[in-house]
Amino acid sequence: MNTNDPIISIQNLTCGYDDTVIVDNVSFDIFKGEVFVILGGSGCGKSTLLKNMIGLYQPMNGKIFFGTDELTGAQGEQRDKIICKFGVMYQMGALFGSMSLLQNVMLPLEEFTNLPREAISMVAQCKLAMVNLENAAYKLPSAISGGMKKRAAIARAMALDPGILFLDEPGAGLDPISSAELDELILNLSRTLGITFVIVSHELESIYKTADRVIMLDKDVKSIVAEGDPKQLRDTSENLFVKRFFHRQPSLGKTGHDKNVSTAE
């Protein structure tokens, strides 16, 4: 599935807020068509890294490339061109509350294409149909469930047919059925359309099911502590934090016990 040239390349990225470094000097590549998951415990900088990758925050140091285009420092039309290459689904959906789902999906098409009105409406309907929301097209976000909101947000993120979709905690707060449906959707879109997914998550079941490759961040070292296939990492990693994470074991400091993993390192 992977080709030699990465679709996203992160080079020596350092990011954080004000003077506080959250993620320090990380480098990794993401290849076309893969489902790439950034995982780690709460507060390790997963969302911060994602927000830097999509250009919401300016990194403290390092470079972010989409293909051959550099996002860091890009402005105006050049930045628009890069931004149109990806869609983003935010943690809470971030749908515009005053607009119906259809209008939410139509918005980027109205702003970025010169398609006629009926074409825009048709494209938006198709996107909603892809996420099984064709019957909720005229509902407001307030009138639908959390799982539907996330699916609608994916439909909006796909409006301009980007090659890359960033998903911030897609399974958070969903019931197991909705979460499984979302996983199916991600796999389906990835396998059928070749969309590259960059997902921030700590939902282990979903990660095992969808992820081709993961990186794990640790807030103590402020960097990547593991990279690879999630099941392999679970079964073979010797890193104490990685083992604790995949085996859902509490940290030593909180309990005073280091259940069964104290000999791992």
Partner 1 sequence: MAQRTLSTEHPVASIRVSPNGNRLRLNIIGSLNAPGTASIWDDTINPVRTGKYTHVEVDCSDITYIDGSGVALLLKLREEAGLSGGKLELNNLKDEHKKLITLTWDCDLTQLISINKEHRGLAEAVGETTEELMKGLHDLIAFVGESSVMIIQSIRHPGQVRWKDVFLSCIHVGVDSLFIITLLGFLMGLIMSFQSAISLQRFGGEIFVPNMLGLVMFREMGPLVTAILLAARSGSAFAAEIGTMKINEELDALTTMGLSPMRFLVVPKLLSALAMVPIMTLFFNLASLVGGAVVMLSLGFPLVTFTSRVFSYLGYGDFMGGMFKALVFSILVAGIGCLRGIQTRSGASAVGLSTTSAVVSGIILIAFADGIFAIAFYYLNI
User: Binding marks (x or -) toward partner 1, 184..223, rule CB under 8 A?
Assistant: ----x---xx------------------------------
> Phi/psi of residue 234, each to 5°?
-60, -45
Told to check if 87 binds partner 1 by CB under 8 A, we report no
Contact (Cβ atoms closer than 8 angstroms) between residue 108 and residue 156: yes
* Segment lying near partner 1 (by CB under 8 A), choices 8-16, 65-73, 159-167, 209-217: 159-167
Q: Of 10, 50, 71, 123, which one interacts with partner 1 (CB under 8 A)? A: 123
Instruction: Identify the residue whose tokens are 């995982």.
Output: 39
* Whole-number Å distance between alpha carbons of 254 and 65: 40
Instruction: Identify the residue whose tokens are 């997902």.
Output: 199
The terminus-to-terminus CA distance of the chain in angstroms comes to 34
* Whole-number Å distance between alpha carbons of 27 and 13: 6
User: Binding marks (x or -) toward partner 1, 127..146, rule CB under 8 A?
Assistant: x-xx---xx-xx-xxx----
* Whole-number Å distance between alpha carbons of 168 and 90: 5
For partner 1, give the closer residue by CB, 5 or 161.
161
The site for partner 1 (CB under 8 A) is made up of: 77, 80-81, 84, 97-98, 109, 111-116, 118-119, 121-123, 125-127, 129-130, 134-135, 137-138, 140-142, 158-161, 188, 192-193
